[in-house]
Structure 1
Amino acid sequence: MTLKGATSNQACAACRYQRKRCTPECPLAPHFRPEHPMIFKNAHKLFGVRNILRILEQIDSNYKTEAMQSIIYEANMRDQFPVHGCLSVICDLQYQIRQAEEELYNVLTWLSFYKQHHVTTLSQNVDHGLLQPVLPILSCDNANVCINAFWLQETYKSSNSNQNEIYPFFDNTEG
């Protein structure tokens, strides 16, 4: 399809969709490339051309590209997930943040525990080769069963016998 006074390669996806001439001053041309008409169709279906232009007029020119990227992303997510749109992505990211915060809290708790209660005991036992250091690494096997290294207690050789025993981490848990 050719437009009056312009070839189909010159018209942006917005002007091509609206079947009007795309001028060099077209505010939508930098954001809706002619080779991606579905991007404009999604944004048009969700927001409408008038609302998109109103948003672009109200925003400082430094933030127009970011605003259009946000509009396009939200429109594409709404097309992909009609019921929730980008809400599912937001909830997933918030869940990942919560998990990372909990893991950080656990690591900091263990670090403070080691610093307060076992700095001297651990350093003496490591010097004598009785205790292997615990690394906070999450290990997973082929069946997707994951084990946190903090859940395991290290064994040490008792000075009274040659058998391996569990190191008494929680003997002095009174606080």
Structure 2
Amino acid sequence: MGGNSPCASCKLLRRRCAKDCIFAPYFPSDDPHKFAIVHKIFGASNVSKMLQEVPVKQRGDAVSSLVYEAHARVRDPVYGCVGAISFLQNEVSQLQMQLAVAQAEILCIQMHHQDPAATFPDDDDHQKSLLFSPATINAAAVTTANFGTNLQQYLSFAPSSSAVMQDPLKRESLWT
């Protein structure tokens, strides 16, 4: 920005905004909260060092990531983004299992339509046997394994934090 209108960082730090201010392109003066939260979590010096290490083309994305992580750290000081990732990973796992069970049930229904001579009793034991038959369990395992392999590899850095996300109150606090 240079000279007349200091960027949000220079305003907060009460210093003159130089022409080559590393913060000016990413922390405009009309959005002071954006720098304030990043400064509170990471510190101006650390943010400056991080931005200098990142190629100019990627600095905007780096600032977006820092702002997101800072907001996550304010909401959840212990886990930050990892808490949100763990929550979403848990949701994906649950949905994968539901999908696998539904696919297995569809397979059972299709098999029943192919062989209408087979009779099935209309009680709860039959429903349980459909859900927990070897074919259903195998289909669920294959679907879950295939669908979740990439996600598990990508998020393997946070296995210990997933236990925290079981608390329903904790889940709500991530998004409020």
* Bucket of the pairwise TM-score, normalised by the shorter protein: 0.5 to 0.7
Q: Gaps (5+ residues) in structure 1?
A: 125-152, 154-164
Structure 1 runs of 4+ aligned residues shifted over 6 Å read: 171-175
Task: Tell me which residue corresponds to 2:113.
Answer: 119
- Tell me, yes or no, if the aligned pair for 1:39 and 1:76 is still in contact at 8 Å: no
Q: In the alignment, residue 120 of structure 1 is paired with which amino acid?
A: Q
- Aligned partners of 2:16, 2:27: CA distance in 1, in Å? 14
1:96 Cα shift?
Answer: 1.2
Structure 2 unaligned segments of length 5 or more: list them.
135-176
Larger radius of gyration: 1
- In structure 2, the partner of 1:58 is 53
Q: Which residue of 2 aligns with 1:88?
A: 83
Tell me which protein shows more strand as a share of its residues.
1
Contact 2:3 2:19 (8 Å CA) reproduced: no
Equivalent residue, structure 2, for 1:78: 73
Matches within 5 A, 1:28-67: 28-67=23-62
Equivalent pairs: percent with the same residue? 27
Shift of 1:12: 0.9
The one-letter code of the counterpart of 2:53 is Q
TM-aligned CA deviation for residue 84 of structure 1: 3.4
Note closer, same or farther for the CA distance 1:120–1:168 as it changes in structure 2 (3 Å cut). Answer: farther
* Number of aligned positions between the proteins: 128
Structure with the higher helix share, 1 or 2:
2
Q: Which has the higher contact order (CA 8 A, sep 6+)?
A: 2
Match for 1:96: what amino acid?
E
Aligned-pair distance for 1:51? Answer: 1.7
Alignment partners' CA distance in 1, 2:124 and 2:33: 64
**Cα shift at 1:121:** 4.2
Paired letter, 1:104: L
Partner of 1:162: none
Paired residue type of 2:94:
Q
Q: CA RMSD in A?
A: 3.3
